[in-house]
Amino acid sequence: MLHPILAQKRLFYGFMAGWITLFMGHTLFLSYQYLPFAEALVDAFIYNGVFMILSVALYFPLAYPEDCTSSAFNKKSFLYHAFHHITTGMVTLAIWLGASFFLASQLLSQNTEYLNFARSSLPMRAAFGGILIVLLISMYHFTSFYKHIEEKNTREEQLKKMLKEAELKALKAQLNPHFLFNSLNSISSLTISDPEAAREMLTLLSDFLRYALKRKEETLLPLREEIKNIQRYLEIERVRFGDRLNCEFNMHPDCLNVHVPAMLLQPLYENAIKHGLYESIDPVSIKTNCRSGNHILEISVSNTFDPESTPVKGEGVGLENIRSKLLLFYNRTDLLSIHRENNNFEVKIIIPKSRTK
């Protein structure tokens, strides 16, 4: 964690200017009211120097919640942070008073008048030091909060830019054109052999396209809507592949209420069918598992495939689109993992719940 004062020249220069001003005021105040100028200079140098070093180190033990308005930042979290800050401030104050008094006493050990003043002024110094520590903690929180706001705005601007640049490619990214063409051909064939099935398939296809076109501009939506549309997609594909396509969904009802990025999972099922059914004549099983953990939602989509078949050529953008979307929404690169074992291919996606609504 990089220190904000050391990372930014303007903050560093302002920080040093503040301490120099405080040092000069300290010296003039003591020399005018209590001590000779030389002793006041030594006292101000020691107490301000030690405090300046501690004020820089004070930044690191403090905890800075990224979003104080989120559900994760509850009353318990507030009490924890308040206790942590008070304890850290008191320890810092005790170290400052103890170290400064020791150093000043060693340098001016022969001056009885100064030692008496140093002891009698401890309550006044403690009060002044406490005020400074509160101001420092407030400053550090302000800079941390401002930094998080800047990062959040940057991510949102990137997301808006990505949506604008992808507007003309939205259908290509969300809908496999081969799927659309094949579905229309299947409907055409069924209009003669099974008109009822053709009407049902046409209804599923229209609902699927309506969902894809409507949701492409939205950000987050309940997982139940995403799964419902994926089931439409699989029903359409099942008309073509029949019993070769087997699907299984294992989900706890609580998982379905969690919000996920729109059209996030669609490429996983397109890949499962492309690499499973296109490359083999054997049946393919697609399994979807979802579990809700502590602050996360874990979604797993796995499919069987023939490891000896010739891979189908493709653009390979499906998983990369998912990775990019997860990075922009959650600012993390560890939310998608791939596991390949024997004839089973599995993709796991982690959705942080703190950003789901």
Query: When comparing pLDDT for 164 and 146, which is higher?
Result: 146
Q: Can you tell me the mean pLDDT for 78-101? A: 87
User: If you average pLDDT over every residue of the chain, what do you get?
Assistant: 82
CB 233 within 8 A of CB 267: no
Amino acid making up residue 286: I
pTM of the model: 0.52
pLDDT at 171: 42
How far apart are the C-alpha atoms of 299 and 351, rounded to whole Å? 8
Q: Can you tell me the mean pLDDT for 198-203? A: 87
How far apart are the C-alpha atoms of 247 and 231, rounded to whole Å? 9
Q: pLDDT band for position 288 (50/70/90)?
A: very high
How far apart are the C-alpha atoms of 129 and 311, rounded to whole Å? 69
- Give the chain's domains with CATH numbers: 4-155 (no CATH), 175-352 (3.30.565.10)
Nearest Cα residue to 326 out of 299, 346, 292, 351: 351
Rg (CA), the chain: 32
How far apart are the C-alpha atoms of 42 and 46, rounded to whole Å? 6
Helices and strands in the chain, H and E counts: 12, 7
How many angstroms separate the Cα of 53 from the Cα of each of 18, 29, 95, 205? 13, 22, 11, 67
Residue 281 has pLDDT above 80, yes or no: no
Residue 28 has pLDDT above 90, yes or no: yes
pLDDT at 184: 84
Q: Can you tell me the mean pLDDT for 54-71? A: 68
pLDDT at 354: 64
Q: Is 344 exposed, middle or buried (0-12, 13-18, 19+ CB in 10 A)?
A: middle
What residues contact 205, with CB distance under 8 A and at least 6 apart? 183, 184, 187, 236
pLDDT at 64: 59
Q: Can you tell me the mean pLDDT for 24-41? A: 90
